[in-house]
Amino acid sequence: MVGRRILLEFVLLIFLPVIFAVLVPFVYKKIKGIHTGWFVLVVPLVLFGYYASFLPLVMDGGHAISEMKWIPSLGIAFTSYIDGLSLLFTLLITGIGSLVVLYSVFYMDREKEDLGSFYVYLLMFMTAMLGVVQSDNTMTLYLFWELTSISSFLLIGFWYTKDKSRFGALKSMMITVFGGLMMLGAFILLSIMGETFSVRELIAEAPELVSHPYFTLALVLLLLGAFTKSAQFPFYIWLPDAMEAPTPVSAYLHSATMVKAGIYLVARFTPIFGSASTWIWLVTGIGLLTLFWGSFFAVKQTDLKAILAFSTVSQLGLIMSLLGAGAISYHATAAVFGFATYAAIFHLINHAAFKGGLFMIAGIIDHETGTRDIRKLGGLMSVMPISFTVAAIGSLSMAGLPPFSGFLSKEMFLESMVALRHFELFNFDTWGILFPIVAWIASVFTFTYSMYFVLKTFMGQKKFDQLPTQPHEAPIGMLISPMILATIVILVFFIPNVIGKWMIKPAVMAIQPTLYANPSAIDIHVKAWHGFGAAGLWLTIGVVAFGTLLYLTIPKWQPLYRMQPDSLSLNNGYDAMMRGSEKGMNRVSRLYMTGKIRTYLLYMFAFMSVTIIALLFLKDAFVLDMNSFAAITLYGSLNAIVLILSVGFVVFAKSRLAAIIALGGVGYSVALFFVIFKAPDLALTQLVIETVSVALFLLAFKHLPALSTHGETKRNKMVNLIVSLSVGVMVTLVALSSHSQKMIPSISQYYKDTVKTEAAGGNIVNVILVDYRGFDTLFEIAVLAIAGIAVLGMIRLRVSRKEPTDENE
Amino acid sequence: MNVFYSVCLVLVILSMLGLLYRVWKGPSVPDRLVALDAVGVMLISAIALFSILFDTPFFIDAILLIAIMSFIGTVSFSKFIERGEIIERGPNR
């Protein structure tokens, strides 16, 4: 249903930021006078303008797709698939991206900061995020997903000289990459189930996928990916630590865009998984838990950005729980559940607007006063009136008060949660009553921390003497972006249905494609006033009443937070896990990596003999065929006794010289065996080599350590005995059974027949060595040459003993 | 006639065992060394008897080789026992 012809291969636009990123260092180095951010600003603005032109197409329920093949043989392609949902996210990314770049021009100092790197990372992130929301191919979606993790890592660690920045960057990397890998697992399972990487095709196959045995596993893995990225419980712990990033980054990545990638993922895959009860329970339950947890702990924080981080966590939980409730619409016809998805998208837009603004205000306060500690701040209203106005608008919207956008979405949220009680499938009639209660309590806390954030900072007594710098209003350039966002917050309240028509309904269509024929069929009309009968109204009044009460009594109950010991916090759990795994791995590797060759040989021999003996008997490979054995001769057996005695002597010898002599005895009796078995060439060679090697042993004798039994405990000896016996048994068994079952006849008859006619020789062994299979001989000559050169090198090129050769020393 | 050679062979191998007993017991290194040298002689005899038994001339080389090798081996051992090394450094090094 493509409404118009699109000439440009617009998939290439995804890469526009990253291509521009290549130019950024040149611009930064060559054009000294102008802040690099002004050049970067062009990119998101152009993209925003271009993508906005898709709005009419999408509003009618259409979609546009542009594809660039990457690995066609595997069906992997870069896709730009634009429907309501991806367009909404694209506009958020480019729109807020433009505002953030504008803000950063005034926030980041041209002289002191490494702007070249900053904008490269930021543009990289923009490409990654556009790729995530527009990809129709799960493999490239994963690729871009990891690119967001990496660029976020780089941005959090931007001030890499600070320990906390590096810690935060590493922590967020560990957690989000863990989730990303889980998500990759889900994608692979999905591609096995549906035999395609395309999300649209998977959605089309959704009814068949539900009954597949991998379905639930894929569901859980996908949710792990979404929950880690969107900072849901218990994976939210990276987000507060990510606040070490520069404020534009916190505003952009950690409130408006990247943390919503998980929301996007859940929304995008709702048509596939939404009908499962696991999905509804997990998404709604974890979302609500996160909402409550985040809002509860936000009041504990004293750092402005930490309050906002916890508030982001809790608002993301809210959106997540609404998406879960929206999935119920696959089962229940009650209009309120279709409503929930609408509310989720609505709140997503609201949250991006007011949270972006609030972060920028926190950055301004930090910039102008030198601190973000709420205990040192107060009474800033008179010196920073514009910042105060914007902060108040944002906070009131966050708290859910009229006349701000948050009021509308919060009311829809409460209505949906109340309605959950009436849903009868999947045990919701038993436990459903918990949902509205938790949601309401969380809203009370949300109200409290919103008030806490704005009132403690801007009202109260002035404590300017404690501040590092004397506060004053920020430059106007810094205030433009938050002012625009605040304007949006107010505008949305008064014209919610315009935004609903242009952006939200097409997005809802993408999440619930089967419910409606086209976006205009969604009969949701948001009103600010529902009359006195609406449950949402009374709940909101209750939230304001109790929230005010809680706010006024903060000093009385804030000590409660101290009752939770640090050792029980999730952060401590993460730290203990990291430390424990490092320690544990160290202990494990120290346990088996002793640095002694003896131990390693023991492992190898034990493993080899056990596997081969087990295999022989498990696979019934052991066969003993006595008929193929030759008769035992008297000389043979006598010589065998000589050989065994000599070997025993080598093993039990007390001095090294005696052992060398006995080794010579072994070699000579082997030579005698060659004689008995009629191999004159072998016997000759064996005799010479044996003599030479005994002489070599004697030559090196002075340098050999005395034959000692140091470290040889009785237990060690027993283990050695067992292992050597089992190796002996293994070799014997293999030799016996391979002798007993010759699968194919020997080819030696051919050599016997042709040695004279083809090769003009009488000695078969020699003819084989130099004629039939001369290549082996060639390379054995090479081996000898290498050994000779190596010996020469070792003797001549002696490194001075003073230099440490072992890196562990 | 084969019986005669076989008996000889068994006797040779038995004496080899006896010599090995000497190698085992020692008590001094020269005792062992002389025993090993005699083992070499026994090997020569054994191989000679074998080539008669197998009726083949191919092992004659081996006999000569053992004679040389056993001599070299005994000399190097003796030198080792006397000097503590086999190949001495030249006077100008």
What's the sign of the alpha-carbon dihedral A799, A802, A805, A807?
A: negative
Write down the pLDDT at residue B92. Answer: 60
The residue in chain B having the minimum alpha-carbon distance to the alpha carbon of residue A670 is B43
Nearest to A675 among B10, B36, B59 (CB): B59
A265 — contact with chain B (CB < 8 Å)? no
Q: Name the β-bridge partners of A80.
A: A66
- Please list every residue in chain A whose beta carbon sits closer than 8 Å to the beta carbon of residue B3: none
Residue ranges in chain A whose pLDDT is less than 50: 1-5, 7, 807-809
A666 — contact with chain B (CB < 8 Å)? no
A698 — contact with chain B (CB < 8 Å)? yes
A661 — contact with chain B (CB < 8 Å)? yes
A702 — contact with chain B (CB < 8 Å)? yes
The model carries a pTM of 0.80
B10 — contact with chain A (CB < 8 Å)? yes
Amino acid at A564: Q
- Please list every residue in chain B whose beta carbon sits closer than 8 Å to the beta carbon of residue A702: 84-85
- Please list every residue in chain B whose beta carbon sits closer than 8 Å to the beta carbon of residue A659: none
Alpha helix segments (H runs only) across A566-633: 570-592, 597-618
Report angle CA A453, A457, A460 to the nearest 5 degrees: 120
Longest dimension (CA), chain A: 115
Q: Is the CB of residue A156 less than 8 Å from the CB of residue A249?
A: yes
Residues A400-443 have pLDDT tens digits of 887 888 888 888 888 888 877 777 666 666 677 788 888 899 99
Cβ within 8 Å, pair A638-B26 = no
Short-list A321, A300, A322, A310, CA closest to A250: A310
Cβ within 8 Å, pair A664-B65 = no
B64 — contact with chain A (CB < 8 Å)? no
Write down the pLDDT at residue A530. Answer: 61
Write down the pLDDT at residue A2. Answer: 45
The residue in chain B having the minimum alpha-carbon distance to the alpha carbon of residue A684 is B62
> Rounded to whole angstroms, what are the CA distances from A3 to A9, A54, A64, A65, A517?
16, 10, 8, 11, 16
B46 — contact with chain A (CB < 8 Å)? yes
What's the sign of the alpha-carbon dihedral A136, A147, A307, A236?
A: positive
The residue in chain A having the minimum alpha-carbon distance to the alpha carbon of residue B47 is A675
The SS3 call for residue A151 is helix
Alpha-carbon dihedral A793, A797, A801, A803, rounded to 10 degrees: -110
E-assigned strands of A52-183?
A: 64-71, 76-82
The SS3 call for residue A113 is coil
Q: Is the CB of residue A642 less than 8 Å from the CB of residue B20?
A: yes
- Please list every residue in chain B whose beta carbon sits closer than 8 Å to the beta carbon of residue A661: 23, 32-33, 36, 77
The number of beta carbons lying within 10 Å of the beta carbon of residue B59 is: 22
Amino acid at A798: R
The number of beta carbons lying within 10 Å of the beta carbon of residue A134 is: 28
- Please list every residue in chain B whose beta carbon sits closer than 8 Å to the beta carbon of residue A641: 17
Q: How long, in residues, is chain A? A: 809
A651 — contact with chain B (CB < 8 Å)? no
Write down the pLDDT at residue A528. Answer: 56
A675 — contact with chain B (CB < 8 Å)? yes
Cβ within 8 Å, pair A688-B65 = yes
B48 — contact with chain A (CB < 8 Å)? no
Write down the pLDDT at residue A710. Answer: 54
**Alpha carbons A489 and A522: distance in angstroms, whole number:** 24
The one-character DSSP state at A411 is H
What is the Cα A348 distance to its own chain's centre? 24
Residues A53-70 have pLDDT tens digits of 888 888 888 888 888 888
The residue in chain A having the minimum alpha-carbon distance to the alpha carbon of residue B21 is A645
Cβ within 8 Å, pair A691-B84 = no
A693 — contact with chain B (CB < 8 Å)? no
Short-list A388, A393, A387, A324, CA closest to A353: A393
Q: Is the CB of residue A183 less than 8 Å from the CB of residue A222?
A: yes
Amino acid at A292: F
Q: Is the CB of residue A515 less than 8 Å from the CB of residue A430?
A: no
Residues 6 or more apart whose CB falls under 8 angstroms from that of A153 comprise: A169, A170, A172, A173
Angstroms from A765 CA to nearest CA on chain B:
13
Angstroms from B58 CA to nearest CA on chain A:
6
The one-character DSSP state at A31 is -
Mutate: best of B17, B56, B58, B78, partner A, most A CBs <10 A? B58
- Please list every residue in chain A whose beta carbon sits closer than 8 Å to the beta carbon of residue B50: 635, 675-676
B65 — contact with chain A (CB < 8 Å)? yes
A676 — contact with chain B (CB < 8 Å)? yes
Cβ within 8 Å, pair B59-A702 = no
The residue in chain B having the minimum alpha-carbon distance to the alpha carbon of residue A654 is B24
A639 — contact with chain B (CB < 8 Å)? yes
Write down the pLDDT at residue A3. Answer: 44
B73 — contact with chain A (CB < 8 Å)? yes
- Please list every residue in chain A whose beta carbon sits closer than 8 Å to the beta carbon of residue B39: 665, 668
Nearest to B23 among A661, A683, A699 (CB): A661
Cβ within 8 Å, pair B62-A694 = no
B41 — contact with chain A (CB < 8 Å)? no
Cβ within 8 Å, pair B43-A664 = no
**Alpha carbons A348 and A317: distance in angstroms, whole number:** 11
Nearest to A635 among B13, B33, B65 (CB): B13
Mutate: best of B77, B81, B93, partner A, most A CBs <10 A? B77
A670 — contact with chain B (CB < 8 Å)? no
Q: Is the CB of residue A668 less than 8 Å from the CB of residue A684?
A: no
A133: part of which helix (H) or strand (E)?
A: helix A115-134
Return the number of CB contacts < 8 Å for A and B.
Answer: 92
A659 — contact with chain B (CB < 8 Å)? no
Angstroms from A605 CA to nearest CA on chain B:
30
Residue owning tokens 């002289």: A111
Nearest to A695 among B6, B46, B76 (CB): B76
Q: Is the CB of residue A179 less than 8 Å from the CB of residue A227?
A: yes
Exposure class string for A432-442: b at 16+ Cβ within 10 A, else e: beebbebbbbb
**Alpha carbons A320 and A359: distance in angstroms, whole number:** 21
The SS3 call for residue A65 is strand
- Please list every residue in chain A whose beta carbon sits closer than 8 Å to the beta carbon of residue B6: 634
The SS3 call for residue A159 is coil
Nearest to B65 among A638, A664, A684 (CB): A684
Angstroms from A635 CA to nearest CA on chain B:
7
What is the Cα A483 distance to its own chain's centre? 36
Residues 6 or more apart whose CB falls under 8 angstroms from that of A432 comprise: A420, A421, A422, A423
Write down the pLDDT at residue A559. Answer: 76
Short-list A415, A396, A418, CA closest to A405: A396
Angstroms from B92 CA to nearest CA on chain A:
17
What is the Cα A442 distance to its own chain's centre? 30
Q: Name the β-bridge partners of A82.
A: A64
The SS3 call for residue A303 is strand
Tokens representing A119? 């904008």
The residue in chain B having the minimum alpha-carbon distance to the alpha carbon of residue A656 is B29
Short-list B19, B62, B67, CA closest to B41: B67
Tokens representing A182? 């889980």
